[in-house]
Amino acid sequence: MKPSRRALLVSGSAVAVGLFSGGAALFFRRGPAVDGGIAAGRVFTADEMAVLYALASVLLPQGAGAPDLRREVIAAVDGLVSTFHPADQAELKTAMLLFENALIAFVLDGRAQPLSALDPVAARRALLGFQRSRLAEVRTAFRAIRGLICGAWGAMPALDAVTGYPGPPDFGQACAADPWTDQPACPAEVSP
C-alpha cells in the first residue's frame, strides 16, 4: 500500500528520519526561552509548549491593536490536542520538531538556526517557505500547525473587540430544561 503523506510525516522520508534521529537530539534538547517561563500542558511538555509559543509568535498578528493571546492560544491548542488520538498527538509533535529542528531547517532552506532563534522577519520567511515547500510532508505539517494555532486564535472571545464581531446573543438557553437527563435545571446557578 502506498504510504500517505500523513504517514510520511510521522515516519519521515529517509532523509528526514536520519535528520530527526541525529538532529532532534542535537538541536532540541531544550525548548526556546520564553519570558516568564512556560509550563507543561496536558499533552505537550514545557519544551514543546515553548516551541508552540514560538510558532504562535510568528503565526499570530503582533501589530498594533492585536491583543497578545499567545499564551491563551497555546493553552487552547494543548487542550484540543489532548482530546485527540495518541497517534495524532504524536504526529503533531513530529510536525513541531520539523519547524524547530535546526538541522532540518538547514537542509530545507539553508538556515542553521531553530525557528525560535530567528528574528521576526526571518521567522516569517521561514514559515512562508514551509507553507510553499515542494515537499508535501512539509506543507502538510505547516497546514496542521497553522490551522490549530490560527484557528484557536480566531475563536478567542478576546478578539471580538478587534474584529467587530458582536459575539453570541444570549437566548437564556443555559437554563433550558432537559427532560431526558438528570442534569440540573440551570447549571449556571449550581456550578461554582
Partner 1 sequence: MSGFVRRGEQLREDVVERCDVCIIGSGAGGAMLAAGLTEKGLDVVMIEEGGWHTRRDFTLREGDAYPMLYQDGGARASADLAITVLQGRSVGGSTTVNWTTCFRTPDRILAAWQRDHGIEGLDAQTLAPHFDAVEARLNIAPWPEEQANANNRALLEGARALGWEASALRRNVKGCANSGYCSMGCPVDGKQGMAVTTIPDALSRGMRLYSDVRAERLVTEGGRVQRVEASVMVPRSAHTTGVRVTIEARTVALCGGAINSPALLLRSGINPNGRVGKRTFLHPVIAVVGRYPGLIEGYRGAPQSVGSHQFIDRGADKIGFFVETGPVHPMLATLATSDFGDPLGAFMPQLPHVGALLALHVDGLLPGDEGGEVSLRPDGRIRLDYPVQPALVEAMQASHKVLAQITLKAGAEFARTGHLDPVVLRSEADLPLLDAVPYGAHKHGIFTAHQMGGCAMGSDPARSVVGVDHRHHTVGNLFVVDGSVLPTALGVNPSETVYALAHRAVESVAASV
Q: For the range 137-143, what are the long-range contacts, defined as Cβ-Cβ under 8 Å and sequence gap of 24 or more?
A: 137/5, 137/8, 137/9, 137/12, 137/13, 137/16, 138/98, 138/108, 140/5, 140/6, 140/9, 141/9, 141/94, 141/95, 141/98, 141/99, 142/99
> How big is the site for partner 1, counted in residues (CB under 8 A)?
60
Q: Count the residues in the chain.
A: 192
Nearer to partner 1, 111 or 139 (CB): 139
Q: Is 134 in the site for partner 1 (CB under 8 A)?
A: no
Question: Residue 96, interface with partner 1 (CB under 8 A)?
Answer: no
Q: Does 76 bind partner 1 (CB under 8 A)?
A: yes
Q: Report if residue 181 touches partner 1, rule: CB under 8 A.
A: yes
Residue 9 C-beta: closest distance to partner 1, Å: 9
Closest CA to 117 of 45, 23, 30: 30
Q: Does 191 bind partner 1 (CB under 8 A)?
A: no
CB 126 within 8 A of CB 111: yes
* Residues that bind partner 1 in the complex, under the rule CB under 8 A: 4-7, 58-63, 65-66, 76, 80, 82-85, 87-88, 124, 127, 131-132, 136, 139-140, 143-144, 146-148, 150-157, 159-160, 162-169, 171, 173-176, 178, 180-181, 183, 187
